[in-house]
């Protein structure tokens, strides 16, 4: 089965951990993930400057390692990211901000990427949101 996964929740919320565990289980079960899409507060899971408390799971790090080790297509919604101060080098320069905090393996793009993923997948599974 082909999955598209959308994460709407911030990294400190249980939905973010559930999304990661679901994605790991899907691949372990022989399924395919056509795209991971980070939207709303889920964009914080892609920020490279998030620091998790030492006694908690570092979910942004876990996501980054999972995406990288599996060569997954991981898209961060550009509108949600800009609104929350999550910028790659290009957007930091465009908006004259002092630093970027979004690095590989993440890609900034629009909601069309979520729509396309939903069309390519057998199932769209969403975590978090209101």
Which of 36, 74, 77, 78 is the catalytic position? 77
CA quadruple 71, 126, 88, 64: dihedral sign:
negative
Q: Helix/strand/coil (H, E, C) string of 29-78?
A: CCCEEEEEEECHHHHHHHCCCCCCCCCCCCHHHHHHHHHHHHCCCEEEEH
Q: Is 77 a catalytic residue?
A: yes
- Compute CA 111 distance to the chain's CA centroid, rounded to the nearest angstrom: 13
The Cα 64–Cα 87 span in angstroms is 16
Residues classed as catalytic: 77
């Amino acid at each position: 089965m082909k999955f598209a996964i959308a994460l709407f929740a911030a990294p400190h919320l249980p939905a973010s951990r559930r999304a990661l565990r679901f994605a790991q289980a899907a691949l372990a079960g022989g399924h395919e993930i056509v795209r991971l899409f980070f939207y709303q507060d889920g964009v914080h899971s892609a920020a490279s400057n998030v620091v998790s408390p030492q006694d908690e799971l570092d979910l942004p790090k876990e996501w980054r390692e999972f995406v990288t080790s599996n060569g997954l297509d991981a898209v961060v919604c550009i509108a949600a990211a800009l609104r929350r101060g999550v910028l790659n080098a290009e957007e930091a320069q465009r908006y004259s901000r002092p630093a970027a905090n979004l690095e590989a393996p993440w890609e900034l793009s629009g909601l069309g990427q979520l729509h396309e993923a939903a069309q390519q997948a057998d199932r769209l599974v969403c975590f978090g949101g209101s």
